């Protein structure tokens, strides 16, 4: 296929010109950086350029578009102006984070080929004890090139695994391994072949590079091997293979560890087909005299055990814990040590103490060499790490290291060891075991080096393993005691001794076969084998493939996307030599991204299908490392440490290390499933989001929720939330914004602290009525929202918004910190709720500063609601654009915001547009009268497409909601918080009360409806609102509209008289219910209401539709929002309300409703709630119709919310079994009824033959698998 250039060619002379930019810093009042558990006050300036981290301190940042790449090393600072600062003006800014001179950087930031320059600088310096803040400065810089890697040039090709028979084994360390014939046979290799065709492939056990521009083999690479005895073309029993294998250990700079983070195994693959395999060749020793003689080498040894993750975050793990046993010893041995050469020693430790200063003493061979002091830690910093990294003297081969932890008499303080490493110089002498060696001095001195190994009589060969795929050998042919060989000097070279007295042995898994696969060669092929660009990739665990394929098919059907499902095992086989590694997933994605037919056809979406954990290696119980996630190296700070799937979507060459300038190129989401059953439930929800049952006027609702004001700065939580609501109202007027400001409700004091029970109810009601988006801004945590617990884990599990799943936006601390399997968060419960909760979450996984939350919320809604456009991005794309937006790019905390859900899903915005055209048969432009209380009103409208064309062929049903005037409200100042002596109060407006909500038939694009305006409207005249939502007949398509062109107010003094209240009929769960019947613990109230003038929903004082349980009038259920008039009939309607967790026993429900004239009626119903854990009960068993000819249904009521197994056995009166019917009660998220009609019969026997007329007996059996209980009932039926 054709490859394309990422950018136009740049004229070389352009690089020589300097670019210049001038900046001014507008200093403001101090900023409070607040999380749920901590706060820090620091100097402030314009929030568009402000950032702070505990690592870098205070940062001024800026981003601007560029036409070319910049030379990142060319930036020069000049024309700096300062203003002196006092220490008090620094507030709580840590002084150790203030540099002596400005630190600045200029980086390329690339977003799908759009180049920006990202600049940051420390704006405060310590100039010889005088603190200064910058007020203005200038930078100059030049253009340059972007470093590229071989990875970016890979074209579409086939994987080596595409053909042939493959088996694999593994090693657990680096060295020379011996493969016997019996071992190869044991893993399935056919050894009855010409041994010269046996080949070994593998890329070693080192972790893959994180950076995109670092080289890693594109596919499995063949390794050169030494096959002893293959010359005769027969694999004899005494023949064997020697080869050098790289294990999973060795120092990794990216993660500062000696252990592979993801695996303790390093896999290698065996193939026997095709040509002869690669064999180890002889080292071509240079001629001439050596310029360097080497008989020493640097030996690197380490001690590291990964057992403890101190804060359960990040990728840094620790080993030994120092508590009761506060002294621990560690020994090393360096035979033939060169004592005159200093050794390098590194010790990384950590301390955890919340009340006392502690320390760790390091003793080397009994001598104290360092004391590492640990500071007291406090949220958000959960541990303190200190490192010893110096040269030391080692006088003897035996090295003893002792660590002594001093807890300063604090038994709750603990110390930890990460690792100890020592690099010492040894004599190049063989001691009976194979060893690797190198000499660093050789790289510094070009020429010829001669190595001499002492005591070498047992060494048969020395291998040059510098290129591990193409090992070369030098033979010690005369088995001399001092074995010498020459090589070229001037570069780093690595070698290993080969001795028959010490070969390593490989290991095997239970399953050693590897199936043929070919991601690289087939991922761009469609069903016809033709090239097709990929839009969307789903990465799935093998156990979840069925549901991943379901999700893929949903997106193919909904959005016409080319979706490919790829399993983790396939990725690891092909991209990381079988070893689990997050970079393998990223490299696979990058392969697809880079090989699109054109830049505009690159893949757009990536879904990680499965849960994730901070533990890559399953060390903790009930681990959920299904699809691995990026974990930051920072592992102690809840504000600086983070997990992120953004790593998988950053495709440019200068990206991969998750640096501040890295930009997302692909929208990423994660399906948070820890089991196949959970995966099914989550895909069921996604599928349900697109089904007809999910269409409804709830899609016009946007709920915003704010925390209350406990401290004066927290007014920003309310004001930001209110501003978001107002902005959406202005930009998307068809949306109905419901504001829940917590402080506008009465706070109550309880034994557990301050609470807002009415807020809790308002949130749950708003979700259950239905909302497209729910946005909360305020404090939060793993247990829920707000310190006053306005939405908890239990609430997340209890809400029942079936088929009305919103997107939750919770830019608050740790609401969905899902990477700790041992503590399930409120966010996870919100997502997992099978019959409610969220369809997805834009949420946080760590503590986020409120200042960042403000900026993130403001930017996010611009993209989520697509201001200025009727074309909406997917949820994942909206988040991608937000993270790349100049308003938030400067904060590394943008990585704390996560999307849980399908990244290709579009929010269910209804399309424009529905118009109100007439009121009382008068064109809207000519209608000037206000809608008065008790007026009988007729409204007419029309349906248009998004281009303004009338749709004369549009037929369906429109839901119309008429609102009273906006309501002016105030918060209450419950906590008495003041600012400058004044109580903090927020004045805000909310949408008016509902005057009427009903449905009308749309015929050929026209509709009309009537209603009577309730007496309870506000009397002053003001602007009302009409909101429209319609669903087209037989087509899954909907439209929305609105009108503010009505005035509401006044009272019709000439209205007809009405003194009769509404008629009320009550049912539980379904309309077949009879008062006194049984229900489950979460029954649904169904109320059918009728009145000649309609039902009042305008929320006049004392005139709400209310339900009372067991006479408890202090806790009424207000049900106005759950009522909707019937289609084309404002006089009758229906409400449904699902109760939550009612106590077992007999209950009486009283419903009171008012008509628009404020006449009331009351109805009662009794029902018996059975304990869900007590017994299974069935009642009202019958078949209908009965008698029947060829069709009947078996009916019964039950008290279970589970799916029940049902069996019906039909017998003759003499007892002969003629037919058995099996099935289940309808279940899932759409069923609330306790009546089952799921078993039907056609009057035929088990052989399909029609049975004779007469009386028959049937036995109905119903079983609950959860309760492990079964009940049965016998009844009679008659066939005519």
In CATH, what number is assigned to the domain containing residue 44?
Answer: 2.60.40.3800
- Of residues 863 and 1198, the one with the higher pLDDT is 863
Q: What is the mean pLDDT of residues 1022-1041?
A: 96
Q: Is residue 567 part of a domain?
A: no
Q: Do 860 and 992 lie in a common domain?
A: no
Q: What are phi and psi of 293, to 5 degrees?
A: -110, 130
Sheet holding 897-900, edge to edge: 563-567, 536-540, 605-609, 667-671, 897-900, 840-844, 807-810, 773-777, 701-706, 736-741
In the predicted structure, residue 1172 carries a pLDDT above the cut 70: no
In the predicted structure, residue 363 carries a pLDDT above the cut 80: yes
Q: What is the mean pLDDT of residues 1123-1140?
A: 94
Whole-number pLDDT of residue 380: 85
Provide the CATH number for the domain around residue 1242: 2.60.40.10
Q: Do 758 and 803 lie in a common domain?
A: yes
Q: Do 1144 and 1189 lie in a common domain?
A: no
Q: Do 291 and 323 lie in a common domain?
A: no
User: In which band, very low, low, confident or very high, does the pLDDT at 16 lie, cut at 50, 70 and 90?
Assistant: low
Q: Do 751 and 869 lie in a common domain?
A: yes
Distance CA 838, CA 829 (A): 9
Distance CA 1070, CA 511 (A): 53
Of 335-349, 952-966, 1135-1149, the least confident: 1135-1149
Of 23-32, 513-522, 1163-1172, the least confident: 1163-1172
In the predicted structure, residue 155 carries a pLDDT above the cut 80: yes
Q: Do 80 and 196 lie in a common domain?
A: no
Q: Is residue 672 part of a domain?
A: no
User: In which band, very low, low, confident or very high, does the pLDDT at 1176 lie, cut at 50, 70 and 90?
Assistant: confident
Q: Do 877 and 758 lie in a common domain?
A: yes
Upper half-sphere CA count for residue 945 (Cβ side, 13 Å)? 7
- How many domains does the chain divide into? 7
Three-class SS state of 56: coil
User: In which band, very low, low, confident or very high, does the pLDDT at 1080 lie, cut at 50, 70 and 90?
Assistant: confident
Per-residue pLDDT reduced to its tens digit, 833-867: 999 999 999 999 999 988 899 999 999 999 999 99
User: In which band, very low, low, confident or very high, does the pLDDT at 940 lie, cut at 50, 70 and 90?
Assistant: very high
Angle at 392 between CA 391 and CA 394, to 5 degrees: 140
Q: What is the mean pLDDT of residues 526-533?
A: 95
Q: Do 303 and 416 lie in a common domain?
A: yes
Q: What does the CA dihedral 727, 729, 730, 735 come to, rounded to 10 degrees? A: 130
- In this prediction, what percent of the chain has a pLDDT beyond 70? 97
Per-residue pLDDT reduced to its tens digit, 669-722: 999 999 999 999 999 999 999 999 999 999 999 999 999 999 998 999 999 999
Q: Do 1217 and 1095 lie in a common domain?
A: no
Distance CA 1234, CA 1199 (A): 6
Buried b (16+ CB within 10 A) or exposed e, 80-106: eebeebeeeebeebeeebbeeebebbb
Q: How far is CA 855 from the centre of its chain?
A: 21
User: In which band, very low, low, confident or very high, does the pLDDT at 149 lie, cut at 50, 70 and 90?
Assistant: low
Q: How far is CA 966 from CA 424, 746, 928, in A?
A: 78, 21, 19
| Residue recorded with tokens 């660093």 | 440
> Of the candidates 364, 392, 427, which is a domain's last residue?
427
> Of the candidates 483, 515, 547, which is a domain's last residue?
515
- Residue-by-residue DSSP string for 1043-1062: E---EEEEE-TTPPP---PP
- What is the maximum alpha-carbon separation in the chain? 123
Count, residues in the chain: 1280
Whole-number pLDDT of residue 972: 97
- Residue-by-residue DSSP string for 6-26: SS----GGGGGSEEEEEEE--
Q: Is residue 867 part of a domain?
A: yes
Q: Is residue 559 part of a domain?
A: no
User: In which band, very low, low, confident or very high, does the pLDDT at 1173 lie, cut at 50, 70 and 90?
Assistant: low
Pair of tokens at residue 171: 């090693």
> Of the candidates 877, 909, 941, which is a domain's last residue?
909
User: In which band, very low, low, confident or very high, does the pLDDT at 1249 lie, cut at 50, 70 and 90?
Assistant: confident
Q: Is residue 385 part of a domain?
A: yes
Whole-number pLDDT of residue 1227: 54
Q: How far is CA 1110 from CA 427, 557, 867, in A?
A: 90, 49, 49
Q: What are phi and psi of 833, to 5 degrees?
A: -50, 120
Residue 1155 DSSP code: B
In the predicted structure, residue 566 carries a pLDDT above the cut 90: yes
As a whole number, the mean pLDDT across the chain is 94
User: In which band, very low, low, confident or very high, does the pLDDT at 145 lie, cut at 50, 70 and 90?
Assistant: confident
Q: Is residue 607 part of a domain?
A: no
In the predicted structure, residue 209 carries a pLDDT above the cut 60: yes
Which candidate, 779, 773, 807, places its Cα nearest to that of 791?
779
In the predicted structure, residue 12 carries a pLDDT above the cut 60: no
Whole-number pLDDT of residue 292: 96
Distance CA 297, CA 463 (A): 15
Distance CA 1070, CA 795 (A): 25
Q: What is the mean pLDDT of residues 810-833?
A: 95
Provide the CATH number for the domain around residue 1127: 2.60.40.650
- Dihedral angle sign, alpha carbons of residues 203, 208, 212, 215: negative
Whole-number pLDDT of residue 147: 64
Whole-number pLDDT of residue 595: 96
Provide the CATH number for the domain around residue 950: 2.60.40.1930
Q: Is residue 802 part of a domain?
A: yes
Whole-number pLDDT of residue 172: 98
Per-residue pLDDT reduced to its tens digit, 593-637: 999 999 999 999 999 999 999 999 999 999 999 999 999 999 999
Distance CA 743, CA 987 (A): 11
Whole-number pLDDT of residue 1233: 60
- Residue-by-residue DSSP string for 1205-1248: EEEEEEE-TT--EEEEEEEE---STT---SEEEEEEE-SB-TTS
Provide the CATH number for the domain around residue 391: 2.60.120.260
Contact 589, 666 (CB under 8 A): yes
* Alpha-carbon Rg for the chain in angstroms: 36
In the predicted structure, residue 1264 carries a pLDDT above the cut 90: no
- Of residues 1261 and 1179, the one with the higher pLDDT is 1261
Q: Which domain holds residue 1226?
A: 1178-1279
Per-residue pLDDT reduced to its tens digit, 1211-1237: 999 999 999 999 888 754 344 467 888
Q: Do 214 and 349 lie in a common domain?
A: no
Whole-number pLDDT of residue 1267: 79
Q: Is residue 628 part of a domain?
A: no
pTM: 0.90
Three-class SS state of 794: helix
Distance CA 1012, CA 1058 (A): 12
User: In which band, very low, low, confident or very high, does the pLDDT at 8 lie, cut at 50, 70 and 90?
Assistant: very low
Distance CA 643, CA 897 (A): 9
Per-residue pLDDT reduced to its tens digit, 962-982: 999 999 999 999 999 999 999
Q: How far is CA 534 from the centre of its chain?
A: 22
In the predicted structure, residue 117 carries a pLDDT above the cut 80: yes
Q: Do 788 and 736 lie in a common domain?
A: yes
Q: What is the mean pLDDT of residues 494-514?
A: 98
Residue 36 DSSP code: S
- Of residues 812 and 1041, the one with the higher pLDDT is 1041
Q: Do 762 and 886 lie in a common domain?
A: yes
């Amino acid at each position: 296929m054709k490859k394309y250039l990422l950018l136009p060619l740049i004229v070389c002379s352009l690089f020589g010109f300097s670019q210049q930019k001038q900046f001014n810093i507008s200093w403001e009042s101090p900023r409070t950086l607040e999380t749920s558990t901590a706060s820090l006050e620091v100097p402030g300036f314009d929030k568009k350029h402000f950032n702070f981290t505990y690592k870098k301190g205070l940062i001024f940042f800026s981003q601007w578009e560029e036409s070319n790449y910049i030379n990142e090393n060319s930036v020069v600072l000049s024309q700096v102006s300062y203003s002196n600062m006092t220490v008090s003006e620094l507030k709580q800014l840590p002084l150790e984070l203030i540099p002596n001179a400005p630190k600045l950087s200029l980086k390329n930031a690339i977003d799908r080929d759009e180049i920006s320059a990202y600049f940051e600088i420390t704006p405060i310096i310590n100039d010889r004890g005088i603190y200064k803040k910058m007020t203005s400065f200038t930078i100059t810089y030049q253009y340059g090139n972007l470093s590229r890697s071989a990875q970016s040039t890979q074209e579409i090709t086939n994987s080596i695994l595409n053909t042939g028979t493959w088996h694999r084994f593994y090693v657990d360390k680096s060295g020379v391994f011996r493969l016997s014939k019996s071992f190869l046979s044991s893993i399935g290799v056919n050894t009855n072949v010409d041994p010269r065709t046996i080949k070994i492939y593998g890329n070693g056990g080192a972790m893959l590079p994180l950076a995109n521009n670092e080289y890693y083999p594109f596919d499995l690479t063949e390794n050169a091997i030494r096959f002893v005895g293959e010359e005769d073309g027969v694999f004899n029993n005494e023949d064997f293979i020697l080869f050098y294998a790289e294990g999973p250990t060795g120092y990794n700079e990216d993660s500062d560890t000696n252990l592979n983070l993801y695996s303790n195994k390093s896999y290698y693959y065996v193939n026997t087909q095709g040509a002869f395999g690669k064999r180890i060749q002889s080292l071509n020793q240079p001629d001439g005299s050596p310029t360097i003689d080497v008989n020493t080498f640097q030996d690197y040894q380490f001690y590291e055990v990964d057992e403890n993750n101190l804060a359960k975050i990040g990728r840094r793990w620790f080993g030994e814990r120092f508590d009761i046993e506060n002294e621990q010893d560690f020994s090393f041995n360096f035979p033939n040590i060169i004592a005159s050469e200093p050794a390098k020693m590194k010790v990384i430790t950590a301390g955890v103490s919340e009340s006392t200063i502690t320390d760790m003493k390091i003793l080397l061979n009994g001598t104290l060499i360092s004391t590492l002091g640990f500071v007291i830690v406090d949220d958000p910093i959960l541990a303190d790490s200190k490192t010893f990294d110096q040269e030391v003297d080692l006088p003897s081969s035996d090295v003893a290291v002792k660590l002594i932890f001093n807890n300063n008499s604090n038994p709750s303080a603990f110390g930890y060891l990460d690792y100890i490493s020592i690099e010492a110089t040894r004599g190049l002498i063989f001691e009976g075991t194979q060893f690797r060696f190198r000499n660093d001095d050789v790289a510094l001195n070009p020429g010829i080096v001669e190595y001499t190994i002492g005591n070498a009589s047992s060494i048969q060969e020395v291998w040059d393993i510098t290129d591990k795929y193409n090992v070369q050998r030098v033979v010690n042919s005369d088995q001399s005691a001092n074995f010498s060989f020459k090589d070229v000097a001037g570069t780093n070279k690595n070698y290993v001794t080969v001795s028959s007295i010490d070969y390593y042995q490989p290991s095997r898994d239970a399953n050693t076969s590897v199936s043929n696969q070919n991601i690289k060669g087939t991922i761009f092929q469609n069903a016809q084998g033709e090239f097709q660009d990929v839009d969307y990739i789903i990465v799935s665990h093998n156990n979840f493939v069925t549901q991943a394929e379901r999700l893929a098919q949903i997106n193919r059907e909904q959005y016409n996307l080319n979706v490919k499902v790829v399993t983790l095992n396939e990725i690891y086989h092909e991209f990381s030599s079988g070893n689990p590694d997050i970079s393998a997933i990223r490299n696979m994605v990058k392969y697809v991204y880079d090989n699109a037919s054109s830049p505009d056809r690159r893949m757009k979406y990536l879904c990680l299908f499965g849960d994730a954990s901070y533990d890559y290696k399953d060390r903790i119980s009930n681990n959920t490392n299904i699809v691995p996630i990026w974990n930051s190296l920072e592992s102690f700070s809840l504000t600086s440490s983070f997990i992120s799937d953004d790593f998988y979507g950053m495709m440019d060459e200068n990206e991969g290390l998750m640096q501040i300038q890295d930009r997302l190129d692909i929208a990423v989401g994660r399906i948070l499933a820890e089991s196949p059953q959970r995966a099914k439930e989550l895909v069921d929800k996604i599928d349900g989001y697109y089904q007809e049952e999910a269409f409804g006027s709830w899609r016009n609702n946007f709920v915003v929720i704010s925390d209350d004001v406990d401290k004066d700065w927290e007014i920003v939580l309310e004001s930001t939330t209110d501003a978001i609501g107002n902005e959406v109202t202005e930009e998307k007027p068809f949306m109905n914004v419901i504001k829940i400001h917590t402080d506008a409700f009465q706070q109550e004091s309880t034994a557990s602290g301050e609470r807002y029970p009415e807020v809790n109810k308002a949130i749950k009601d708003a979700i259950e009525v239905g909302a497209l988006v729910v946005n909360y801004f305020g404090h939060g945590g793993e247990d829920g929202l707000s310190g006053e617990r306005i939405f908890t884990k239990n609430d997340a599990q209890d809400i029942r918004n079936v088929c009305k799943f919103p997107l939750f936006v919770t830019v608050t601390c740790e609401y969905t910190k899902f990477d700790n399997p041992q503590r399930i968060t409120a966010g996870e419960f919100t997502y997992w709720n099978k019959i409610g909760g969220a369809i997805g979450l834009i949420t946080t996984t760590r503590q986020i500063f409120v200042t960042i939350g403000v900026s993130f919320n403001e930017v996010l809604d611009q993209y989520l609601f697509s201001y200025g456009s009727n074309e909406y991005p997917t949820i994942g794309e909206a988040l991608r654009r937000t993270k790349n937006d100049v308003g938030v790019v400067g904060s590394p905390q943008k990585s704390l915001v996560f999307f849980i859900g399908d990244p290709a899903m579009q929010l269910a915005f209804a399309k424009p547009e529905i118009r109100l055209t007439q009121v009382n048969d008068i064109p809207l432009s000519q209608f000037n009268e206000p809608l008065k209380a008790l007026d009988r009103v007729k409204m007419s409208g029309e349906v248009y497409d998004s281009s303004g064309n009338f749709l004369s062929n549009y037929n369906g049903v429109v839901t119309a909601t008429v609102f009273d005037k906006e309501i002016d409200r105030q918060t209450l100042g419950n906590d008495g918080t003041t600012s400058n002596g004044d109580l903090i109060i927020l004045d805000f407006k909310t949408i008016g009360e509902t005057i009427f909500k009903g449905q009308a038939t749309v015929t050929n694009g026209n509709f009309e409806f009537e209603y009577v305006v309730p007496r309870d409207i506000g009397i002053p005249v003001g602007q009302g609102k009409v909101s429209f939502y319609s669903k087209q007949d037989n087509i899954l398509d909907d439209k929305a509209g609105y009108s503010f062109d009505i005035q509401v107010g006044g009272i019709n003094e000439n209205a007809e008289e009405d003194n009769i209240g509404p008629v009320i009929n009550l049912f539980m769960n379904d309309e077949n219910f009879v008062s006194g019947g049984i229900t489950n613990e979460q029954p649904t109230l169904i109320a059918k209401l009728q009145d000649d003038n309609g039902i009042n929903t305008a929320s006049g004082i004392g005139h709400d539709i209310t339900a009372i349980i067991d006479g408890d009038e202090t806790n009424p259920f207000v049900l106005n929002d759950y009522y909707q008039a019937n289609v084309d009939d404002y006089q009758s309607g229906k409400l449904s309300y699902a109760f939550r967790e009612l106590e077992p026993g007999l209950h009486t429900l009283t419903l009171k409703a008012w008509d628009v004239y404020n006449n009331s009626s009351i109805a009662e119903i009794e029902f018996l709630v059975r304990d869900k854990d007590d017994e299974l009960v069935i009642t009202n068993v019958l078949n209908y119709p009965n008698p029947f000819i060829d069709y009947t249904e078996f009916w019964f009521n039950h008290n279970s919310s589970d799916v029940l197994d049902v069996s019906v056995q039909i017998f003759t009166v003499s007892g002969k079994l003629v037919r058995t019917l099996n099935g289940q009660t309808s279940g899932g998220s759409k069923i609330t009824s306790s009546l089952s009609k799921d078993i039907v019969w056609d009057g035929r026997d088990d052989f399909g033959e029609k049975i004779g007329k007469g009386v028959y007996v049937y036995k109905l059996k119903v079983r609950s698998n959860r309760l492990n209980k079964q009940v049965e009932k016998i009844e009679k039926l008659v066939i005519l």
